Amino acid sequence: MAVLNKIRQRSLFLIIVIALALFSFVLADLFKSGSSFSSSSQNIVATINGKDITREDFMQKVEAAQRQAGPNATGSQVINQVFEQEVRLAIMENQFEKLGISIEKDQMRDLLKTTLATSPEFLNEAGMFDENKLNEYIANLKETSAEGYQGWINYEKSIASNALQQNYFNMVRAGLTATLKEGELEHKLEGNKVDIQFVQIPYSSIEDDKIKVSSSDISDYINKHKKQFEVKESRDIKFVQFNEMASTEDENAIKANLQGLLKDKVEYNDVSKADETIIGFLNTTNNESFVNGNSDIKFDNRFVFKSGLPAVAADSIYKLSEGQTYGPYKDNGYFKISKIVAVKQIPDSAKVRHILIPFIGSQSAGPEVVQSEAQAKSTADSLLTVLKGDKSKFSEFVTEYSSDQGSVNNEGRYDWHPYNSMVPEFNDFEFEGNVGDLGVVKTVFGFHIIEIEGQKDKKRALKVATLARRIEPSEATVDKIFRDASNFELAVEKKDFEAAAKEKNFKVLPVNSLKELDENIPGVGSQRPIVRWAFEDDTEEGDIKRFNVPNGYVIAQLVAKHEEGLMSVEDAKATVMPIVRNQKKAELIKSRAKATGLDALAKAENTTVRTATDINMKNPTITGAGREPLVVGAAFGLKEGQTSKLIEGANGVYMIKVTKVKPAAKLDNYQAVANRVAQQKVNVVSSRLYNALKEASDIEDNRAKNQIQ
């Protein structure tokens, strides 16, 4: 009872405690799950000057860009490309809004008219742009394809953005000018010249090891030049790569296997219960079937000149006669044996004209094509019959019937072009026929009516059958590489990474200053998983992880984490040490050099007085001493006959005397020079303006945080 009374007396206190406990539980859950407080940020890829780029919109554009880029572009490359486009768009739109400039509906129509002026689907019978056709096209897209219509909207936005950017840049250019005073200054910078005598005491005259540069010296320099040494967050890693490569034994086995295909051999047939002779590569008469059944590269039925043979074996193969073989030889990741199937004299170039009659389903056939294959063949044969009687109609038929836009404007003609530059059937007709031949040839594009107008320089050509086997590791080799990687992974858990690698003679490869959005690992290629791991919060210095990479494995160790801010003394050492060392050398030289004249200084430093003529400010270089802006500037601050004090230059300490001042000739009018200065300003707008806007923008990049890459 006493306990209950105490509880009642402290009920308010208990309510507060329970409330706080529940609140802390909710807060913990929120932070743990990243819901209310972070879900919005997880959906934001970047924020540029207050404008958010959402994940959904961004990924839609990435997918579209990836489809357009094709398989050769990596995901990270496409993401970076789209990101830069979105950043540029956001920065420029911010400028457009501030200036109140936009593209109105009538302007958009004019832009589309200009952009699509040569698109066939929007031209009328007279070949002029027809706005009605454009309206029909857009309306049809809107009704039939939401995805297509959205693509069109994005296309219009892109055109509008480009036009606005052009207008913006033109406005900036229009505001750039140069005054007559600027023209006069430019003329003087180019034309004012001085002759000098000078003594140079080069920094190289003092040995580096006599000058001590401490860590504090480097640190002081970094702090005085902070902007030069600002760095983003980065990581250092090192790794050992285990490549699944064919061993010498594997290569020998592949070569032996190839050589075993050369000769006939007798094998027991389980079906016929008798020995059968298997014809080898040397004696087979069906080379195409033999190659296709035994090679990793299919039979190529074309003739080739010497230039078309594998470079590593071209000389040897080209000397062979029909039926002879050469190999095995190694070429581009394969072992090969090549056999001469046929030898022929073929022109190395030809000139033809043709008429292309496409049919429904033929490659590149447009929606206007309505003929079936049989109908197209009939049309081509009919035209051929007419042309055999009157070739003068060829040009007329090209204009009326040919769908090959690449040759229509040249009367269907393809001027001199090399062997094997056309599709096989077309190529065979024009190079294996004779000048004047006229015929119909079917290709993937349709039916071609071809006339051979010329052939040049017949040369020896070969038809080569090549047996090829890819050079790849055997299962035993793959297993060994897996064991080596696994054993090393276990070893580095107990031993130092470098020591464990040295013990097994494995090469350790360092990678320094990896950035969070980097993609490539030198020597390995595109490896975002390794970079992501290095930047994970849970990954600590010294941690080790194994990664599967193309054709092998990587065992990586995180060596160091570098936070965003100023570069560390160790990282800046290579850059800063020579600078600080030269500063100390300059102090040493100036402290010992007491002479006030050139001759005395030259004698004291065991050097000579040299001369330099026609020095100017525009190109501050001293003959024999190099680029020295401070020294040249000092020269123009002296009067004729005046001697300077000691000057600390880029390559040494100097004393100079101006022997002659040569002012630039005065001009009656500096407008021409001012115009040139103005043009120089205009010329750099495109390259510098956007970069300046970007540098001044507030850009928050969340790609790595939100695992976009």
| 3-state DSSP helix/strand/coil % of the chain, to nearest 5 | 45, 25, 30
CATH topology of domain 234-245+474-563: Chitinase A; domain 3 (3.10.50)
What pLDDT, in 10s, does the model give residues 34-67?
Answer: 443 344 567 898 899 999 988 888 888 888 888 8
- What average pLDDT is seen over the chain? 89
- Would you place residue 3 in the very low, low, confident or very high pLDDT band (cuts 50, 70, 90)? very low
Across 46-73, b (16+ Cβ under 10 Å) vs e yields bbbbeebbebeebeebbebbbeeeeeee
Question: Which pLDDT does position 591 carry in this prediction?
Answer: 94
User: What percent of the chain lies above the pLDDT cut of 90?
Assistant: 66
Question: 285-330, pLDDT tens digit by residue?
Answer: 999 999 999 999 999 988 999 989 999 999 999 999 999 999 999 9
Instruction: Identify the CA nearest to 384 among candidates 370, 401, 359.
Output: 401
Share of the chain above pLDDT 70, in %: 94
Q: For residue 106, is pLDDT > 90?
A: no
Q: Say yes or no to pLDDT of 551 above 60.
A: yes
Q: Is the pLDDT of residue 12 over 50?
A: no
Has residue 8 got a pLDDT over 60? no
pLDDT tens per residue across span 657-701? 999 999 999 999 999 999 999 999 999 888 899 999 999 999 988
CATH number for region 247-472 = 3.10.50.40
The 3-state secondary structure of 373-392 reads: HHHHHHHHHHHHHHHHHCHH
What pLDDT, on a 0 to 100 scale, did the predictor assign at position 272? 78
Structure token digits, residue 238: 């090192």
pLDDT of 709? 64
Going 295 to 300 to 303 to 306, the CA torsion angle's sign is: negative
pLDDT at 117: 83
| Digit-coded pLDDT (tens) for 149-194 | 888 888 888 899 889 999 999 999 998 999 999 999 999 999 999 9
Is pLDDT larger for residue 517 or for residue 533?
533
- Give the closest residue to 447 by CA, choosing from 368, 524, 355, 372: 355
* Cα three-residue angle 275-277-280, rounded to 5 degrees: 150
Look at residue 660 in the predicted model and tell me its pLDDT. 97
| Per-residue pLDDT at 5 exceeds 50 | no
Q: Do the Cβ atoms of 646 and 654 come closer than 8 Å?
A: yes
Q: Which helix (H) or strand (E) holds 194?
A: strand 193-202
Six-digit token pair at 5?
A: 């009374």
Q: Provide the pLDDT for residue 27.
A: 38
Q: Which CATH class is domain 193-230+569-662?
A: alpha beta
pLDDT at residue 34 in the model: 42
Supply the pLDDT for residue 707: 67
**Which pLDDT band holds residue 4 (cuts at 50, 70, 90)?**
very low
Would you say residue 351 has pLDDT above 50?
Answer: yes
Dihedral sign computed on CA atoms, order 179, 181, 182, 184 = positive
Token pair belonging to 129? 């742009």
Q: Please give the model's pTM, rounded to 2 decimal places.
A: 0.64
pLDDT given for residue 80 in this prediction: 87
As a whole number of Å, the end-to-end CA separation of the chain is: 65
For residue 627, pLDDT over 90 is answered with yes
Q: What does the buried/exposed string (b/e) look like for 539-575 if buried means 16 or more CB atoms within 10 Å of the residue's CB?
A: beeeeebebebeebbbbbbbbeebeeebbbbebbeee
Whether 708 has a pLDDT exceeding 80, the answer reads no
Poorest-confidence range of 289-298, 367-376, 540-549, 612-621?
367-376
pLDDT in tens, 594-605: 898 999 999 999
Q: How confident is the model at residue 1 (pLDDT cuts 50, 70, 90)?
A: very low
- Number of CB atoms found within 10 A of residue 172's CB: 15
pLDDT attached to residue 9 = 43
Q: For residue 18, is pLDDT > 70?
A: no
